[in-house]
Amino acid sequence: MMRNTLTAWFVALVVLTLLAVPAYASLANEPFAVTFVSRVLVFALAAISLNLILGYGGMVSFGHALYMGLGAYVVGILAQHGVSNGWIQLAVTLATCALVGLLTGAISLRTSGIAFIMITLAFAQMFYYLFVSLKQYGGDDGLSIPARSEFGLFSLGSPLALYFTALALVLLSLALTRRLVVARFGMVLQGCRINERRMNAMGFPTFRYKLTAYVFSSMLCGLSGLLYANLTGFASPAYLAWTLSGELIVMVVLGGMATVFGPLVGAITLLVSEEILKALTDHWMAVLGPLIVLVVLTARRGLYGYLLDIDSWRARRQTVAAKSQGEQP
């Protein structure tokens, strides 16, 4: 009972705060708050997708931003041709990311370690230069999106609609991740991370499990790209850059790899810290870098993992106290 007390209160506090952001923005006349937290949620969704393969599957992808960029360009290119129907854009985004994830994953997952990292990076760079070369869609300057996605009952052109759509997708992704990691699929995936040879020896088709996780992660990251395009009104090759993939990895590690809620905590911490430090100094990167290193060194499971460790310690103390009382005559 004690194990989840601190983390449960923390999760509830974060969710309630996110739900209250639009009300605060309206009362305080701070519309930027909705836009900023929408950006946090978009990156949190991308980090959650990466955590599935990085945290639970042990697949260090340095090209995960590829799918975020693909989602953004699907929206931009379709809107450029007069297709602003959100359901069509959603279907094309999922199909495109699934196909690219399947093809690149089938090749990348034949390797492991540094080779896997470099191949995923290479694929992302290939698509980066592909979009740079597409002059009809802006090339290196990027592509302005003339119309936001229309879903019939709501439009992502509305900041509030975009905010609550992003929040709903983040919460659904967290719930789905929680279910997946305790199911057979998640257990096999974690087994692959710990000892893939042993999982193969036990008869599990590890390649199939890892590829399924990779494709699903790609599709989920594509959704974040769709939202990001609607948030910024822009699609840029920078969305596919390896630097953005590195940011996603930092969010996962900072929040806590292989923890369900960690990527959201990491996204909030990193982006909020950036905004605060930017307001204080022009050399904010020189301050943020050492802070990230300090957190990683002192909390190896990230910030949210640190809370889990505290709950585990309190639960052990409670168990020991209960046993000692039971043994007294």
Per-residue pLDDT reduced to its tens digit, 280-312: 888 888 888 898 888 888 877 889 988 888 888
Question: By percentage, how much of the chain surpasses pLDDT 70?
Answer: 97
Per-residue pLDDT reduced to its tens digit, 37-79: 999 999 999 999 999 999 999 999 999 999 999 999 999 999 9
Mean pLDDT to the nearest integer, 161-185? 96
Per-residue pLDDT reduced to its tens digit, 130-149: 999 999 999 999 999 999 99
Cα gap 151→75, rounded to integer Å: 13
Please report the pLDDT score of residue 329 as a whole number. 52
Cα gap 256→161, rounded to integer Å: 29
Q: What is the largest CA-CA distance in the chain?
A: 84
Which amino acid is residue 106, in one-letter code? Answer: A
> Which among 254, 248, 227, 225 is positioned nearest to 237, based on CA atoms?
225
Chain-centre distance for alpha carbon 139:
26
Please report the pLDDT score of residue 314 as a whole number. 83
Q: Quick one: tokens of 79? A: 């809107």
- The neighbouring-strand residues paired with 85 are 150
- The neighbouring-strand residues paired with 234 are 144
Please report the pLDDT score of residue 2 as a whole number. 41
Cα gap 269→260, rounded to integer Å: 16
